[in-house]
């Protein structure tokens, strides 16, 4: 910290801005000035989700090191699988001790908003400088009129498919409507590469596609006033559609956890599934010719659109927040600013090979989205998602409903035939009410 001063911070900010404008990555919009004076002798502990693609953590670590060299602020970065970050964050919030910064998922920060440092000045600065926040990211970051978390990006899920498989089934591309999509999956059934979507307790994959299916039919767990409206004709329609879809799936999807479809796809036993870009990245970077062939034969598409006539995808959104118990909140803010600036963020986005889609609009111009056209469908993920607990507010209940797999179980019951769609919707609504009525 000895060589760090307010002037250095301002100089760094100006240099970064100039670099970003020069690179054409930001529109040069009016921006809030950034002034911050980190605490002397500060050191930070960061807990973040474990990388799914190798380049992510390498770039993240290199930028962190650069930050330390520049500011003298030591930063220790720990990683956990993203499902394990949640319990650690919960413990930290409860006992008032732990990492200064946690990069967590979805609505977790909304479980303890009062324990988090106000990041409004930083969010306003970054939003002003980088083309503004996507609406969904703004929703994931703000509690009332206060920014409690800084969205890091969206782990976008797309339809992953084998080009040869859908061509053999008589399709040139993934249909954008529900009947066409069902017809494709029905054609794939019985081939060596059928479709398959997770119906087990897969926090990412199962929640992604079941929420999409529910929302695209007009179903929702709650209305804007948090009244549970899950037991509705729209939900039943979504379950009836999902049942038809599930009848075309490869056997075993009821047990699938998050890695299951990756394994099956990379083994050449799956023609179509819902996943992030990780399958493609692993196949493309593998020295194994069989996997390279799969990478060459696969592509991505957006989820189809149903009766609601708009995108209704559900994706994992990652956000960083700073606990009030941190002794160095200003240093934490400085670190986050540094990591979200174009010099670092663009490199990280590129190194992650599109695993994460940007929360700030200016970063949509990053070459990672155009250098390889197979990554392009992942680019606008933040523009296509609905927030958790749609159409209600983010908070304990929305997090609990997702954490308790209420929507996933509802789909699993209907798809497996253990309950009729009507009964599954009714049972799920009763479960959801227990959270929304507490």
Partner 1 sequence: MAVETHNSDRLAARTGRRLRDNRDWLGALFMLPAAAILLVFLAYPLGLGFWLGLTDAKIGEAGHFIGWGNFVSLAHDAVFWLVVFNTTFYTVVASVVKFALGLYLAVLLNERLPFKSLLRAFVLLPFVVPTVLSAIAFWWIYDSQFSIISWMLIRLGLIHRYIDFLGEPWNARWAVIAANIWRGIPFVAITLLAGLQTISPSLYEAATLDGATAWQRFRHITLPLLTPIIAVVMTFSVLLTFTDFQLIYTITGGGPINATHLMATLSFQRAITGGYLGEGAAIADAMVPFLLAAILFSYFGLQRRRWQQGSAD
Interface residue with partner 1, options 22, 24, 233, 252 (CB under 8 A):
252
> Count of residues binding partner 1 (CB under 8 A)?
44
Q: Tell which phi-psi region holds residue 389, choosing left (phi > 0), alpha (psi between -120 and 50) or beta.
A: left
Query: Cβ atoms within 10 A of the Cβ of 285, count?
Result: 14
Cβ proximity to partner 1: between 316 and 349 the closer is 316
Interface residue with partner 1, options 49, 60, 112, 181 (CB under 8 A):
112
Q: Does 58 bind partner 1 (CB under 8 A)?
A: no
Burial string for 308-324 (b: 16+ CB within 10 Å, else e) reads eeebbbbbbbbbbbbbe
Q: Does 251 bind partner 1 (CB under 8 A)?
A: yes
Sequence-distant (6+) residues with CB within 8 A of 310 are: none
Interface residue with partner 1, options 25, 237, 399, 407 (CB under 8 A):
399
CA distance 363 to 402: 29
The answer to whether the beta carbons of residues 321 and 141 sit under 8 Å apart is no
Interface residue with partner 1, options 124, 183, 396, 423 (CB under 8 A):
396
H or E segment and range at residue 182: helix 178-188
Q: Say what angle helices 342-351 and 54-71 make with each other, to 10 degrees.
A: 160
Sequence-distant (6+) residues with CB within 8 A of 398 are: 107, 110, 221, 388, 389, 392
CA distance 406 to 221: 10
Interface residue with partner 1, options 49, 55, 79, 111 (CB under 8 A):
111
Interface residue with partner 1, options 32, 58, 257, 364 (CB under 8 A):
257
DSSP structure string for 271-320 = SEEEE-THHHHHHHH-S-HHHHHHHHTEEEEPPPB-TT-S--B--EEEEE
The values of phi and psi at residue 322, to 5°, are -115, 130
Q: Does 394 bind partner 1 (CB under 8 A)?
A: no
Cβ proximity to partner 1: between 3 and 114 the closer is 114
The residue range among 39-47, 178-186, 232-240, 395-403 that interacts with partner 1, by the rule CB under 8 A, is: 395-403
Interface residue with partner 1, options 229, 250, 294, 360 (CB under 8 A):
250
Binding mask 162-201 for partner 1 (x = CB under 8 A): -------------------------------------xxx
Interface residue with partner 1, options 51, 136, 253, 375 (CB under 8 A):
253
End-to-end alpha-carbon separation of the chain, Å? Answer: 47
Shortest separation between residue 269's beta carbon and partner 1, angstroms: 6
Q: Does 368 bind partner 1 (CB under 8 A)?
A: no
Largest interatomic CA distance in the chain: 68
Q: Does 204 bind partner 1 (CB under 8 A)?
A: no
Contacts to partner 1 from residues 328-367, by CB under 8 A: none
Binding site residues, partner 1, CB under 8 A: 83, 86-87, 90, 93-94, 111-112, 114-115, 199-202, 250-257, 260, 263-264, 267, 269, 396, 399-400, 403-405, 409, 412-413, 416, 418, 427, 430-431, 434-435, 438
């Amino acid at each position: 910290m000895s060589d760090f001063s307010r002037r250095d911070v301002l100089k760094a900010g100006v240099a970064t801005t100039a670099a970003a404008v020069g690179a054409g990555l930001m529109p040069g919009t009016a921006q809030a000035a950034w002034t911050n004076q980190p605490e002397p002798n500060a050191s930070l502990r960061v807990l973040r989700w474990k990388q799914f693609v190798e380049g992510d953590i390498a770039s993240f670590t290199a930028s962190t090191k650069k930050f330390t060299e520049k500011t003298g602020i030591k930063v220790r970065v720990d990683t956990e699988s993203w499902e394990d970050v949640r319990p650690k964050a919960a413990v930290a919030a409860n006992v008032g001790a732990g990492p200064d910064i946690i990069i967590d998922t979805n609505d977790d920060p909304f479980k303890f908003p009062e324990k988090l440092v106000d990041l409004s000045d930083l969010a306003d600065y970054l939003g002003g400088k980088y083309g503004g926040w996507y609406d969904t990211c703004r929703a994931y970051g703000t509690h009332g009129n206060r920014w409690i978390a800084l969205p890091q990006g969206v782990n976008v899920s797309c339809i992953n498919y084998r080009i040869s498989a859908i061509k053999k089934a008589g399709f040139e591309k993934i249909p954008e409507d529900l009947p066409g999509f069902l017809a494709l999956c029905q054609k794939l059934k019985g081939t060596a590469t059928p479709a398959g979507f997770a119906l087990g307790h897969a926090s990412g994959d199962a929640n992604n596609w079941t929420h999409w299916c529910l929302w695209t039919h007009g179903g929702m767990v709650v209305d804007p006033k948090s009244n549970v409206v899950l037991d509705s004709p729209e939900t039943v329609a979504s379950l009836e559609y999902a049942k038809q879809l599930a009848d075309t799936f490869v056997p075993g999807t009821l047990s699938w956890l998050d890695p299951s479809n990756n394994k099956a796809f990379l083994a050449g036993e799956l023609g179509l599934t819902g996943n992030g870009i990780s399958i493609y990245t692993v196949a493309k970077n593998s020295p194994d010719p069989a996997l390279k062939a799969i990478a060459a034969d696969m592509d991505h598409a957006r989820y189809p659109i149903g009766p609601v006539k708009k995108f209704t995808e559900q994706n994992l959104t990652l956000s960083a927040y700073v606990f009030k118990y941190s002794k160095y909140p200003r240093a934490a803010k400085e670190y986050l600013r540094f990591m979200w600036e174009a010099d670092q963020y663009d490199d990280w986005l590129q190194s992650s090979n599109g695993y994460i889609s940007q929360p700030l609009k200016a970063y949509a111009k990053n070459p990672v989205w155009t250098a390889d056209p197979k990554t392009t469908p992942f680019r606008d993920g933040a523009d296509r998602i609905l927030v958790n607990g749609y159409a209600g507010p983010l908070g304990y209940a929305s997090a609990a409903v997702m954490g308790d797999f209420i929507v996933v179980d509802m789909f699993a019951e209907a798809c497996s035939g253990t309950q009729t769609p009507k009964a599954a919707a009714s049972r799920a609504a009763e479960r959801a009410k227990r959270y929304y009525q507490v």
